[in-house]
Chains A and B, each alone.
Chain A
Amino acid sequence: MAHTSLTSLLDGLAKQDPRAIGRAISIVEDNGPEADAILLSLDRDLVKNTTVLGITGPPGAGKSTLTSQIISTCRSRGERVGIIAIDPTSPLSGGAILGDRIRMMRHSLDRDVIVRSMATRGRLGGLCGAAGAAVRIMAGAGCQRIIIETVGVGQSEMDIIRLADITALVMAPGLGDDIQAMKAGLLEVADLLVINKADMAGAETLFMDMEAVAHERADKSNRPIAVCRTVASEGKGVEELLAEIAALENQHRASGEHDRRRSRSYDLEVLDWAMEMMRPHILQKIQKDSGERWGDPKLQAANILKQMKVDHDKIS
């Protein structure tokens, strides 16, 4: 991209132009050369003051529907909202179908709602970096609230959710054993639990199960984490959920927890980028080795890292 177009991109970003915001997110996601200039141009206070809500849970639980309702409520309060909806990349083709938008289309002509779909792209690293940068670009473009929706499976999604200031785990009756499988890990990171589809059979049993879990997860002052019931398709329970979220937010900002989480997530992004940058170099070393593929792979890895350090010391 020529210098003039970078200038006009930054100009557009400052003016909150939708095209510029969209381009900027792609550039950081694709790790383009202008990424640093874009991120450096953002207003620091806007980024600091935004609130990032993570919504996670099994496919079909109603995350996108709930997100759309939360958008409506935020908009009625005059807030500008950004949404990053993450779906998994197909490991076979590297492609993805990103369909979360379907449930949010009623906001599609609202210029104060920015929805961005993102695929995990099967990267070990980089996803946190890309999503983190998208959060900052949206915040810099004036979004006071940002929602990250992600399916709660796999380590990379778990890491992503750490980018959020507050994370809600959404569950619903009738989704089978999926919930059992993901419960353990996700419950650890969730700040509150949402039983969606409270209109459906089985919701009450699920609610009671989760109440029990919430008590196990009591905070330092012995308060169990909140369990909310919603019917996202009808907008029921959304105000109450947002009130719980607001209470947690205030508490976290007052106690310093908010800042602690922000620095932790910053560190995570740095780690993510470092891994991403290092990966090709390590891979090259591994592939260049002509020795027999035998012996302890861990030892081999340690040797490669040692070798990289020797090479590095030689050049610097």
Chain B
Amino acid sequence: MSNTTYRVLIGKPGLDGHDRGAKFIARALRDNGFEVIYTGIRRSPEEIAAAAVQEDVAAVGLSSLSGAHIRLFPAVVECLRKAGAGDIPVIGGGVIPDEDITLLKEKGVEAIFTPGTPVDQIIAAFTAACSKHHETRNA
């Protein structure tokens, strides 16, 4: 009788205050049956990681429009690791050039989405990441 609702956290690290993208993804995930913990704008990587641990999410989604993604996304990955939650996948979104994408993936970011990506594709990535995470944690 156990349940498999996916819980994810959507956060926006960094100083820019544009959360349209983050909110859009949060709503799309909700409409696809996810429970979305939304932490709002201007969060530090430490705050996002601590919340992800307390909420026991299966994935973390980050949005950044400021160009600070190159520092902030890997910082979240690192904070999760330090909190003993390195197994929680991090998915990023924003205006991110191709060369940064390669670099971010090398630093442990699971997937990156740029503007214009069909929302179904993003949902599919979250579904895959969550399903993989549930499998390994229940193994």
Contacts and interface: CB of A to CB of B under 8 A. Distances in A.
Nearest to B39: A101
A21 B54 CA distance: 7
B84 A19 contact: yes
A115 interface: yes
A8 to B, nearest CB: 11
A131 to B, nearest CB: 14
B31 interface: yes
Contacts of A109: 46-47, 50
B30 A96 contact: yes
Contacts of B30: 90, 93, 95-97
B27 interface: yes
A106 to B, nearest CB: 9
Q: What DSSP secondary structure best describes chain B's contact surface?
A: mixed
A219 to B, nearest CB: 37
A26 interface: yes
A30 interface: yes
Nearest to A17: B84
B40 A119 contact: no
Interface string A109-135: 100001111010100000000000000
B2 A101 contact: no
Nearest to B47: A108
A115 B47 CA distance: 12
B113 interface: no
Interface of B: 1-5, 7, 26-27, 29-40, 43, 46-47, 50-51, 53-56, 83-85, 137-139
